[in-house]
Structure 1
Amino acid sequence: MSQARLSPGIVPGRLAPEDLALNFRDIAPPLTAHEAQVAADRCYFCHDAPCITACPTAIDIPLFIRQIATGTPDAAAMTIFHANILGGMCARVCPTENLCEGACVRMEAEGRPVEIGALQRHATDGLMARPGHPFRRGAPTGRRIAVVGAGPAGLSCAHRLAAKGHEVVIFEARDKPGGLNEYGIASYKTVDGFAQAEIEWLLGIGGITIETGKALGRDLTLEGLTADYDAVFLAIGLGATNALRTGDEGIGNVGDAVDFIAELRQAADLAGLAVGRDVVVIGGGMTAVDAAVQSKLLGAENVTMVYRRGQDRMTASRHEQDHASASGVRIIHNAAPVAIHGDGAVAEVEFCYTEDSPEGLVMTDQRFRLKADQLFRAIGQRLDEAPGSPALEGGKIAVTGPGRTSLDKVWAGGDCAAGGDDLTVTAVAQGRDAAEDIHLSLSP
C-alpha cells in the first residue's frame, strides 16, 4: 500500500476512530446461554442428519446440539473438536448457509435453519476459555514429522499427529502462523486476535514446534526434509495471484485483494490504513467480498465488485453477497475488464459485458467504464511454483486418498492440493485425514 499513499485520492483516516471501531466490531456476536438453549431446542436431532453429510469434517451436529440442549456445552465442544480441532474458527468463517445450515431440515421446512454455526461457537468458545488443553498426547513414538505451512491444514495435521505421540515441526514462511485464518479473512469475522489465540490453545497439547520465516524453496528443500524427517506434509497454500491479463496492470494503485486484507488484518491502527474514494474489486469469491466490504468500512465512498459471470456462478455465498450489498457495495455481473486507464495511476477501469454460451464465456462489444482510484484483483490464486517434484494436477499438487502425493513420505493438503474447494473447513479435514494416514504408515 506504500504506492497507494502517494495518490491524493487514497488517504488514511477517512473515518473517525470511533466509527472504525463500530464498523469492525464482531459481525456475529456470541450467543448468550439462554439464546443457545433456545436455538438448540429447534433441532430435530435427525437420526440420518443431512447436516453431518454437508459438513466437510463430518461433525456429529445433532449430538453436539443435544449436548448443549441438555446443559453440557463442554461435552458438545469435545464432540466438535474430535472432528475439527479448528472448530472455533470454522464456526466464525464457514459458509454454513451452503453447508450444514443449507442442508438443515428446518431450512427445508421453514426457510430458517438451526443456527448451527452460532451454536458451534458457543460450545467451542466456552471450552477454550477454560485452563489447560482438553486433549492428551499418546505415548511418544520417536517419530518426527515436518509440516510445511501453518495454515488450517497444517495446524490440523500437526495437532492430530501430536495427539498420537509424534513430534511435529511446522515450518511457516510468514512471520506469524495461521495462514488464511490470520492473513486472509475479514477482520470483523475474527475479532480480538482470535486466530492467534486459537493457535496458542491448539499448541497446548505439546509436541509441536513452529519455526516462522522458513519457506520451502528458499530456506528448505523437499529433499532435505524427507531425509531429516519420517514424513512430510505440505500445506503451503497458494502464493501467486492470477493476473487480469489486460496488459496494463503495472499502473499505480492496482493491487491484490489478498495483500490488502493481510495488511488490514495486521494493522495496529485502522485509522492509519489508506483507502481510495472510488474502489473497484474484480472477482466474485469470498476474497472479493471481504476486500470490497472492508474498503467500504474504512470509508471508501464508492465500492464496486465486478464479476465476469452471472450471480449464480459466484463462489461467494448468497449470504456474503447480501452482506456486501447491505454494506453499500455495488455488484455488477457479466462484465470483464479489458483495460485500465490513467496517467501513472489508475483513474478508470474499462469493462465489456459478457454472455455465457455453449462454447464458453463470450466477450461482447458493449463496454462501460468505472471511475477508480484503487483497483483490487481477486480472481483466484495459483501455486507459486512446484515445491519440489510431486506430480501436479490442474496447477496444484496431485493427491490420492488422504493426501498422498507421487513422492514417498510426502503428503499434501489444503489449498495447494488438487481436488479441494478452498475452504478453511475442507483444509482442516484434509490435514486431519492426512495425519491419520501418516500415522498408519509409520505404525509397525
Structure 2
Amino acid sequence: MAIKQTGDIAAQRLSPEQLSCEFSDIAPLLDASAAAAAASRCHYCYDAPCVSACPTRIDIPSFIRKISNGNLKGAAVDILSANPMGGMCARVCPTEILCEGACVRHAQDATPVAIGALQRHATDWAMARGEPLFRRAAETGRHVAVVGAGPAGLACAHRLALAGHRVTIYDAREKAGGLNEYGIAAYKTVDDFAQREVAWLCSIGGIAIEHGVALGRDVELDTLRQRHDAVFLAIGLGGVRSLAMQGEDLSGVLNAIDFIEQIRSASDFGTVPVGRRVVVIGGGNTAVDAAVQSRKLGATSVTMVYRRGVESMSATWAERDFAQTSGVTLVTHASPTRLIGADGVVTGVEFERTASDGIQERFVVEADMVLKAIGQTLVPVGIARELLTLDGSRIEVDANGRTSLADVWAGGDCAATGGIDLTVQAVQDGKVAAAAIDAQFARTAVQAA
C-alpha cells in the first residue's frame, strides 16, 4: 500500500548522503582479529545455558571454539545445520534475551560473549565463499508442498530437500522471505541479505518456488493434498488489528507493517513519504522498527505510545534503548481514545492514562502521520474452520506441527506451537515439521515394503 503525500507527509526530507548514513548497517561485520578476541571470552561451557536458550539449539560453544581456531567453515556448518537461517537470525534475533542473555559471563563481568556477532561472522564468511556446506540425499520420489516462503516455510523446505524430497514452495509475494524480506527494518538487513539467504537455501537443490500463488485464491488446500505427498502451511499472519475507533479512516493513518514494507521495497529511501510529526501506537518490534525508520527518513518528532508499562512490551530492552537513542520519545500507560483530524487528514491522537493519584487524564499528541502497530492476525482464507484453534486465531497443531489432517502440518506465526513469535522460533517450527514429515514418509515406506 503506497503512502500518500498529503499535508506534512512528504518524501526526500534528507539528502541521499544522509539517508545512506542513516540506513547503513547498524551492526557491521567483525574483522578476523575482533572475532578472535570475542571468541576468546567464551568458556565453552559443558551443558551451556546459551544452547538451551536458543530455540534452534545451535551448539554455540562448538562453533565459537572453531572460530577461535580459524575454522570458519566448520563454525558455519555447526550453525547452519541447526539453523539454516542462521545468517538472518544473527541480525534480527533478540540475543539479549536468548543466547547472550543466558551467557555465564553475565555473572563475571556483566558482558556476555558476542554470540550474535560471531554467528554472523561465520555465516557471512560461508555465504560469501559460496562453497557447498551440505550434500542433498538421494532423490526419494516424495514431493511436498510448502505454502509460504517465510522463515518457517524456507527452513522446512531446506530440511526436506536435504533429506532427498522434492519441495515446491507456493508464495503470494513477488519475492521469497516473508517478514525477513518485507517486515524487518531496512537497517538490520542491508545489501539485499534476505534474498541472498534465500538463494543460498535453495542452492541445495530440489526446491522450486512459485510466486504469486495465494492459498484460497489461486490454489486450494485439497488440490495441494492431491498433488503432493504432504503439505506444510507457513502462511504467517496476514491481517492487522484495528484500533476500532473514530478517525481511523483519516488520511495519514496507516498500518506500521505497510510502512515498513514500503521502505523495504524502495530502491531509493528518499522516495518514501514520512510525516514531520509521527505517532506510533504499539510496543512491539514492529512499532520500534516503524518509529526508528520514521526518524531515519527525516521525521522531526516521533512518539511511540504503549498502553502498558515497559515491562509488558514485547520489544526487548535493547530495542527500546535503540529507539530512544535514535530520537524516539516513549510514552507508556496511555491508550488511544480517538484520532483527531481536519479536512479528512489526521492532526493528532487523543490518549487516556491513569495518573499516580488514580485520576484519569487525557492528552493529545499532535501528528500528521499515525502508524498502527498493535498486532497482526491470521487470515484463514483457504483454511477449514476445523483446522483452527477454538478462538480461530491460529492453526491447531501438535508438538510436531501436525494438524488434524494426517498429511498437513503447519508452523511459524500462523500455528499455535506455543513458541515465541520470532524468526528463530519459526525456523525451529519448520525444522520440527520437516523431521515429522520425513519420519512419516519412512514409516509409510516400511509399511509398503
Residue 381 (1) aligns with residue 376 (2)? yes
Label 1:123 to 1:355 Cα distance change in 2 as closer, same or farther (>3 A): farther
Quick one: distance in 2 between partners of 1:92 and 1:408? 36
Match of 1:229, as an amino acid?
H
1:406 Cα deviation from its structure 2 partner: 1.1
Quick one: distance in 1 between partners of 2:373 and 2:243? 9
TM-score, normalised on structure 1?
Answer: 0.96
Quick one: distance in 2 between partners of 1:99 and 1:388? 33
Quick one: distance in 1 between partners of 2:209 and 2:231? 14
Mapping of residues 322-361 of structure 1, within 5 Å: 322-343=321-342, 344-354=344-354
1:316 Cα deviation from its structure 2 partner: 0.3
Quick one: distance in 1 between partners of 2:33 and 2:382? 50
1:282 Cα deviation from its structure 2 partner: 0.4
Mapping of residues 176-255 of structure 1, within 5 Å: 176-255=175-254
- Residues 293, 324 of structure 1: 8 Å contact kept: yes
Residue 146 (1) aligns with residue 145 (2)? yes
Match of 2:166, as an amino acid?
E
Residue 278 of structure 1 is matched in structure 2 by 277
- Residues 309, 354 of structure 1: 8 Å contact kept: no
Quick one: distance in 1 between partners of 2:402 and 2:2? 41
Secondary structure of the equivalent of 2:129?
A: coil
- Per-residue CA deviations over 1:288-317 (Å, capped at 9, x if unaligned) read 000000000000000000000001000001
- Residues 3, 259 of structure 2: 8 Å contact kept: no
Q: Which moved more, 1:102-111 or 1:184-193?
A: 102-111
Identity %: 56
| Residue from 359, 369, 391 that aligns with 2:387 | 391
Residue 365 (1) aligns with residue 351 (2)? no
1:408 Cα deviation from its structure 2 partner: 1.7
- Residues 215, 381 of structure 2: 8 Å contact kept: no
- Residues 56, 429 of structure 1: 8 Å contact kept: yes
Residue 403 of structure 2 is matched in structure 1 by 405
Quick one: distance in 2 between partners of 1:309 and 1:262? 27
Match of 1:428, as an amino acid?
V
Quick one: distance in 2 between partners of 1:74 and 1:417? 34
Quick one: distance in 1 between partners of 2:132 and 2:23? 30
Q: Any gaps of 5 or more consecutive residues in structure 2?
A: none
Residue 56 of structure 1 is matched in structure 2 by 55
TM-score, normalised on structure 2?
Answer: 0.95
Quick one: distance in 2 between partners of 1:133 and 1:218? 37
Match of 1:349, as an amino acid?
V
Secondary structure of the equivalent of 2:187?
A: helix
How many residue pairs end up in the alignment?
A: 437
- Residues 281, 304 of structure 2: 8 Å contact kept: yes
Secondary structure of the equivalent of 2:203?
A: helix
Residue 310 of structure 1 is matched in structure 2 by 309
- Residues 278, 303 of structure 1: 8 Å contact kept: yes
- Residues 57, 426 of structure 1: 8 Å contact kept: yes
Secondary structure of the equivalent of 2:345?
A: coil
Q: Which moved more, 1:152-161 or 1:220-229?
A: 220-229
- Residues 309, 355 of structure 1: 8 Å contact kept: no
- Per-residue CA deviations over 1:52-109 (Å, capped at 9, x if unaligned) read 0000000000111011111111100100011000000000000000100000000232
Residue 85 of structure 1 is matched in structure 2 by 84
Quick one: distance in 1 between partners of 2:130 and 2:26? 27
- Residues 255, 377 of structure 1: 8 Å contact kept: yes
Mapping of residues 9-24 of structure 1, within 5 Å: 9-24=8-23
Quick one: distance in 1 between partners of 2:179 and 2:397? 21
Quick one: distance in 2 between partners of 1:309 and 1:264? 28
Quick one: distance in 2 between partners of 1:3 and 1:198? 29
Quick one: distance in 2 between partners of 1:300 and 1:119? 34
- Per-residue CA deviations over 1:387-436 (Å, capped at 9, x if unaligned) read 32253224101110110111120000000011232100000000011000
Residue 436 of structure 2 is matched in structure 1 by 437
Label 1:354 to 1:166 Cα distance change in 2 as closer, same or farther (>3 A): farther
Match of 1:351, as an amino acid?
F
- Per-residue CA deviations over 1:31-72 (Å, capped at 9, x if unaligned) read 000000000000011001000000000000011101111111
Match of 2:4, as an amino acid?
A
Residue 425 of structure 2 is matched in structure 1 by 426
- Residues 311, 333 of structure 1: 8 Å contact kept: yes
Mapping of residues 294-309 of structure 1, within 5 Å: 294-309=293-308
- Residues 133, 202 of structure 1: 8 Å contact kept: no
- Per-residue CA deviations over 1:247-286 (Å, capped at 9, x if unaligned) read 3311111110001001100100111111000000000000
1:355 Cα deviation from its structure 2 partner: 8.3
Q: Any gaps of 5 or more consecutive residues in structure 1?
A: 357-362
Quick one: distance in 2 between partners of 1:355 and 1:62? 48
1:354 Cα deviation from its structure 2 partner: 4.8
1:176 Cα deviation from its structure 2 partner: 0.7
How much is the aligned-residue C-alpha RMSD, in angstroms?
1.3
1:365 Cα deviation from its structure 2 partner: 2.8
- Per-residue CA deviations over 1:122-151 (Å, capped at 9, x if unaligned) read 000111111343111111110000000000
Residue 174 of structure 1 is matched in structure 2 by 173
Deviation >3 Å, runs of 4+? none
Secondary structure of the equivalent of 1:397?
A: coil
1:364 Cα deviation from its structure 2 partner: 6.4
